[in-house]
């Protein structure tokens, strides 16, 4: 059963260091999205990469709608992976929705985590006006999910350049579009619904692990208001504004992303 968790999530362990650093990809992606950053960490850390069930080379037979009907199912997968590898006091780097997945896991099992690095995080994507601005109206989310159901390929080609930004580097949007399209459409739509309808604001008060919030500039998924809200409500958090544009700085600006993470880890 122990091996099942590692096989289920296509876990790979690289590097030579004593301390573990776990990279968790966001919606519509897989562990290959970290490939530009991993070489910067391999000499110093034990690097753990994995795919959520339904993504990358994970085992699709383990996907069950009930388990993954909210972010806690994904958080449980993360905990099972870390326990199997006997990790403790690990550094967790989560992109987008993975930031909240890591936070939920850290609330339940704080001994597993030393630091949380949140890349383009959002505790809630949907607006709850006038008190909270998440960037999306409920109608926006409904239309996005409907487009995924009606025309999955069309949805991918429409969304990829919008969320990637960096229009002068069209290869980045093309890679993201290919990543979106490689997903199982049914699982991808369910993950999208769980992601965009999630609300982790109430859990923020229970999070205790020191956290770095990396706020991208001109991010259509997690605007600056979201980063400011998260920083204000997440104790022991540090907020840094990046020059990187878009929602995927680990792809578009891996050097800046790496530099900010390393500086945070060495100075805190």
Burial of 122 (0-12, 13-18, 19+ CB in 10 A): buried
The single-letter DSSP state of residue 208 is: -
219 is catalytic: yes
Catalytic choice (96, 98, 99, 179): 96
Helix (H, G, I), strand (E, B) or coil at 240: strand
Q: Cis (ω within 30 of 0) for the bond into 130?
A: yes
The CA-atom distances, in angstroms, between 224 and each of 19, 65, 139, 217, 257 are 32, 32, 21, 7, 17
DSSP state for residue 204 in the 8-state scheme: G
Select which of 25, 95, 247, 250 is catalytic.
247
**Rounded (to 5) percent helix, strand, coil in the chain:** 50, 20, 35
Question: CB-based contacts of 157: which residues, under 8 Å, 6+ apart?
Answer: 177
**Is 247 assigned a catalytic role?**
yes
Instruction: Return the active site residues.
Output: 96, 219, 247
């Amino acid at each position: 059963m122990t091996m099942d968790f590692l096989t289920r999530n296509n876990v790979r362990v690289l590097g030579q260091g004593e301390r573990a650093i776990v990279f968790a990809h966001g919606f519509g992606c897989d562990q290959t999205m970290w490939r530009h950053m991993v070489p910067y960490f391999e000499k110093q850390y034990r690097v753990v990469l994995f795919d959520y069930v339904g993504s990358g080379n994970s085992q699709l037979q383990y996907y069950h709608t009930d388990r993954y009907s909210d972010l806690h199912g994904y958080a449980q997968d993360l905990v099972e992976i870390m326990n199997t590898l006997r990790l403790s006091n690990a550094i967790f780097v989560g992109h987008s929705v993975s930031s909240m997945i890591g936070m939920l896991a850290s609330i339940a099992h704080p001994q597993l985590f030393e630091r949380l690095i949140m890349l383009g995080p959002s505790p809630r994507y949907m607006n709850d006006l006038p008190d909270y601005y998440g960037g999306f109206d409920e109608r926006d989310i409904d239309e996005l999910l409907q487009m995924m159901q009606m025309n999955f390929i069309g949805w991918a080609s429409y969304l990829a350049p919008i969320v990637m930004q960096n229009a002068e580097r069209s290869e980045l949007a093309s890679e993201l579009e290919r990543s979106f399209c490689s997903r199982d459409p049914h699982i991808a739509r369910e993950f999208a619904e769980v992601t965009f309808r999630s609300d982790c604001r109430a859990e923020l008060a229970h999070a205790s692990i020191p956290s770095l919030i990396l706020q991208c500039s001109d991010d259509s998924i997690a605007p600056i208001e979201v980063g400011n809200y998260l920083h204000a409500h997440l104790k022991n958090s540090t907020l840094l504004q990046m020059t990187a544009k878009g929602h995927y700085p680990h792809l578009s600006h891996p050097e800046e992303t790496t530099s900010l993470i390393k500086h945070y880890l060495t100075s805190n």
